[in-house]
Every structure is written in C-alpha cells, then in structure tokens.
Amino acid sequence: MPTKIYVVDDDESVCCALKVLLTTFDFDVKTFNSAESFFENVAGNTPGCLLLDIHMPGMDGWETQKRILNSGSKRPVIFISAEGKNDASDRALKVGAVGFLQKPVNGQTLVDLINTTSKN
Amino acid sequence: MKKTIKGPLLKKAPRYKLEERIHQQAKELKAQRGQIKQGADREKLGADREKHAQEEIHIQAKAMESTTDGIFIIDAQKTDFPIIYANPSFFNLTGYSKSEVIGKNYFSLYGVDANLPISEEIKQTLAQGKSFHGEILRFKKNGEKYWSLLRMAPVRDNQGGITHYVGIKTDHTLMKERDSEIEEQREELLHVTRVGKLAEFVSSLAHEISQPLTAILSYAQAGQRILKDRESQPQLQEIMRNIINDDQRATEVIRRLRELLKKNKPIFEPLNINTLIHDTVTLIMTHITSKDKVVNFELDSDLPMILGDRIQLQQVLLNLISNSLEAMEESPDSRDLLIRSFLKDAKTIVVQVKDSGCGIPAENMKKLFSHFFTSKPDGLGMGLSISRSIVEAHGGHLEVKNNNPGRGATFYFTIPVDGKDPL
C-alpha cells in the first residue's frame, strides 16, 4: 500500500504540482487549500505524512501544527514554506515538525525526507 | 460838594492806592516766593532727575555686564569699525582680553576669518542702515570653534545719522550641536526604516515569487521523471532540465536578495516608553510644526519599564505619528495629535496615537495591516505591516479604531512590562 501524503497549501498551483510530482514517486497524495478543510476531511488517527505551508489565510501553518500536537495525533509534519529559511526552520523544529524545506523544493530532497520519516 | 465829594475820594484814593500797593507787594512777594519755591523745586527736580538718570544708567550698565550675551559697540563714524565698548561676556565668549578688543577693528578680531564673505555681508547690511541677523561659525582666540548667533543694529542720533553700531552675540554651539544631533538621529531612524521597508518588501516579493517557482520546479521534475524511461524524447528531456536549471537560477537570485537584506536581530534592553515617545517626537518636531500640527501628550509618569528594541519601537512610533500627520494633512482644521500612554493592567502598557483626521473607511479596516496595502499615491504599503510585526515580536498587539464619526482614528499598541521590574 502506497504511503499517504497530505498537502496543505493555499496556492492551488503548488498543491497540484506537488501532487503530480509525488505521484511519480508512487505516493498517494491528497491536497487541501486550507487547514480547515484538511481537518474536516482527514481524521487525526489516519496514517500519513503532512506537507504543510506556513503562510496561509485563516489558520496558518503554526496553528495547524499546534492543533495536531494538541490532539495527540502522531502525524509527522514537514513544513514547506516560502518564508526565509533563517526565520522559520528553527521554529519549525522547535514546535515538533520533522523538517522544514524552503520553497521551491527539490523533489528528491523532499522524497528522501518523507521516506526517512515514514520509516521511523 | 465837589470837595465833599472829592474829600472822601481824595482820602480814599491813597487808601485805595495803599491797599493796591500792598496787594501788589503781596502779589510780588508771593510771586517772588513762588519763584524762589519754583527755583528750589526745579533744583530738587533736576537733582531727582539726575539721580534717576544715573540710576538708570547704572542699571543699564550693570545689566550689560551681567548678561551672558556678548554685547559690543562700534564707532560708526570711523571706517575701521573700532570697538569702543564690550561687556565681560564678550571677552569670555571670544577669549580676547579688554586691551585686545577695545579700539580694535571688530572684523579683524576673527583673524583669517575677517575676509570671509560673511564679514562683507555684515558691513554691507550695516552700510544700508539695516540690522544684521545671522548664525556664524567663529573661532575663539585659542582656536576653539563656536557658533555665534549675531545681531548687529545701527544706533542713530536725534538727526537720524548713524553714530554707532551695537552688536549682541550669543553662543549657540550647544543649540547647534543639539540640532545636528537630532538631525543625525532622525536620518538614522529614517534610514533604518527605509532599509526595513525594503527588506520587508523583498521578503514579501520573494514569498510571492517562490510559490509559482515551486509549482514550476515540481512540474518540471515530475515531467523529467516521466520522460526518463522514454529515450525517444531526448529534446523534451533537455527542455525539462533547462526549466529546472532556470527555476533554480531564479531561486538563487531570491536567496541572495534575502541574504542581502537580512533583518537585523533586535537588541532588547530595558526602556522607558515615555522617554522613547518624547525622543521620537523630538526627531520629527520640525516636520510636525511645519505641517502646522500640534502634539499633545497624556503620558502616565509612573509606568514600569518595558523590554524592547529602541530603534524598532521608535520605527513603530514614527510610522504611527507620520500616518496620523498624513491623515490630517487634507484638513487644516484638524491640528491635534494626542499621544497617550497608560497601564492597561499590571503587566501591559498601552500606547495610543490619536489623530483628528478623516478616519479610516470601513472597507480599508481589514486590509490596513497587510503587505502592499496603501491608500497613499506614493506609499509602498509596508509601514503598518512592519509596525505590527515589530510590536508582535515584542509580545504586544497593534490595533486601530475610528474615533467618533469624523473625529479621526486611534492606533494603539500594547507592550508587556519588563518582567524583571519590581512593579
């Protein structure tokens, strides 16, 4: 069974492109344009790695990650953001994310990180 | 009958004459006495006047000697501007002694300075019978520089002819230094603000461009993988490689731009928010006055210290004050700007900047703090979004509300008090 990946990004184009790319690596990818719609559609206990944008209208990436942690879910979260690396990467790891990748993301780097996370 | 008639008349006549004479004598005596008295009065009056005049001269002389302004008088009837009087402050100010000053050409006192155009300007102004007023950089006898605020005016006699020139010079060095210090600080703050705006602008731009670059890169890498097994399409494979390379090139440009305009790390130190407010207002006081606006303060003097970055918080205050001034620019009737500081609760200070301008239209309220939103023709739309992120980095909030309809708007931010403070 292919590994499940959830992508939450308010940019439609980014969602779509990541889905196309990750599908070529045989992942099962589901995309959401907002954190709200992700929580509505995906239960906390279903397995799968979350690729999470930070800067979003409504609930932003930080709040989303906090909510996942508070819910007791063990879902691995990888932040993928266009924010400056220095500002966000430390904070991402501090709040319990498994990784931070700055946009644009190299496909292979992302896949390697997903695979390491999934194995653990 | 004639006699009888005449008798009494004759008899009476001398009596009359006598009375008249006595009367006359009395009158004369009185007059003489009066004259004597008048003379005495006049004498007394003269003495009083003289005494008074002397007192006046004495006070005037004392005043001239006591003032901290340098006062000097030049004989205008001689061509070489000899100084005939100078008060002690003049000697203090210039560093020259009395003998080096009295009788000497005023303009030669400044040595090499004497032929400066400013000396010519003074001479010409005086020659036209006008007063001179100016700020001049002068040197003391020991070579020390000072700023002299100089006023020189012609003194005229009763016929209107110019007999003397009187000059007053004031040491303006401290004032001048203070002015240039304020100017420097203002420039520094404006520079930091400009750089901050640019950095924020680039950062926002970088963010916006990174999104499509992410999509392009992902699509191209997906395409590359799909094409990998198809050797019949070498040209398409190369196209994919080129798209990826150029995407990475654009990414590199953004990375370097970000690096170039990296935000300075804030330096947190204990600060008195009221001092900060005063310092910031001082920096733009000239601007405020030139716009014919008035700043009023309602600052709680018992506020505890806060922990913050001085420059960054000054940037916030400057931004809020400038915005308020601009909001009031259109209407000359709105002149008042009110800055308040007070304790909201034991742990939170509130700073308000209240203008009496046009207020903020309801439709702009929500977008006010977002990047690139501006209602000004030449605005970048960075000021308020930067201010908000600075305030938030200090653990506070920046908000806005409209005052009563037509009474302008109030921007206010909270800032936590320094935990280490005893309060």
* B81/B167 same-domain check: yes
* B209/B315 same-domain check: no
* B279/B408 same-domain check: yes
> Which among A24, A86, A103 has the least Cβ separation from residue B222?
A24
The pLDDT tens digits of the residues spanning B283-335 come to 888 888 888 889 999 999 999 999 999 988 998 999 999 888 888 887 778 88
The pLDDT tens digits of the residues spanning B220-231 come to 999 999 888 777
State the sign of the Cα–Cα–Cα–Cα dihedral B227, B229, B230, B231.
Answer: positive
Q: How far is CA B421 from CA A56, B307, B416, in A?
A: 38, 10, 11
Q: Using the beta-carbon criterion (under 8 Å), do B210 and A104 form an inter-chain contact?
A: yes
Q: Using the beta-carbon criterion (under 8 Å), do A13 and B211 form an inter-chain contact?
A: yes
**Who wins on pLDDT, B416 or B363?**
B416
The pLDDT score that the predictor gives to residue B22 is 63
Evaluate whether residue B39 is within a structural domain. Answer: no
Q: Which of A29-33, B240-244, B304-308, B377-381 has the lowest mean pLDDT?
A: B377-381
Evaluate whether residue B81 is within a structural domain. Answer: yes
Q: Using the beta-carbon criterion (under 8 Å), do B216 and A17 form an inter-chain contact?
A: yes
Q: Which of B241, B260, B279 is the last residue of a domain?
A: B260
**What 3-state DSSP class applies to A12?**
helix
**What is the band of B196 on the pLDDT scale with cuts at 50, 70, 90?**
confident
Region B177-206 average pLDDT:
82
The pLDDT tens digits of the residues spanning A59-107 come to 999 999 999 999 988 899 999 998 777 778 888 888 888 999 999 999 9
Evaluate whether residue B190 is within a structural domain. Answer: yes
Which one-letter amino acid corresponds to residue B92?
N
Residues of chain B positioned with their CB less than 8 A from the CB of A102 = 210
* B159/B209 same-domain check: no
* B87/B219 same-domain check: no
Q: Using the beta-carbon criterion (under 8 Å), do B218 and A105 form an inter-chain contact?
A: yes
Q: Using the beta-carbon criterion (under 8 Å), do A82 and B212 form an inter-chain contact?
A: no
Residue B145 has pLDDT above 90, yes or no: no
* B159/B79 same-domain check: yes
Read off the CATH number of the domain in which B107 is found.
3.30.450.20
Percent residues over pLDDT 90 in chain B: 35
**What is the band of A120 on the pLDDT scale with cuts at 50, 70, 90?**
low
Q: Which of B212, B229, B260 is the last residue of a domain?
A: B260
Comparing alpha-carbon positions, the chain B residue that sits nearest to A19 is: B218
Tokens for B338, please give them: 């009110």
Residues of chain B positioned with their CB less than 8 A from the CB of A24 = 222, 225-226
Residues of chain B positioned with their CB less than 8 A from the CB of A108 = 221
Read off the CATH number of the domain in which B214 is found.
1.10.287.130
Q: Which of A112-116, B357-361, B394-398 has the lowest mean pLDDT?
A: B357-361
- Domain residues for the domain of B220 are 176-260
Q: Which of B260, B288, B321 is the last residue of a domain?
A: B260
Residues of chain A positioned with their CB less than 8 A from the CB of B221 = 21, 106-108
> Which among B213, B222, B226 has the least Cβ separation from residue A104?
B213
**What is the band of B11 on the pLDDT scale with cuts at 50, 70, 90?**
very low
Number of compact structural domains in chain B? 3
**What 3-state DSSP class applies to A105?**
coil
Map out the domains of chain A as residue ranges: 4-119
* B244/B211 same-domain check: yes
* B157/B293 same-domain check: no
CATH class of A4-119: alpha beta
Interface of B with A (CB under 8 A): 203, 206-208, 210-219, 221-222, 225-226, 247-248, 251, 258, 262
Evaluate whether residue B86 is within a structural domain. Answer: yes
pTM over 0.80: no
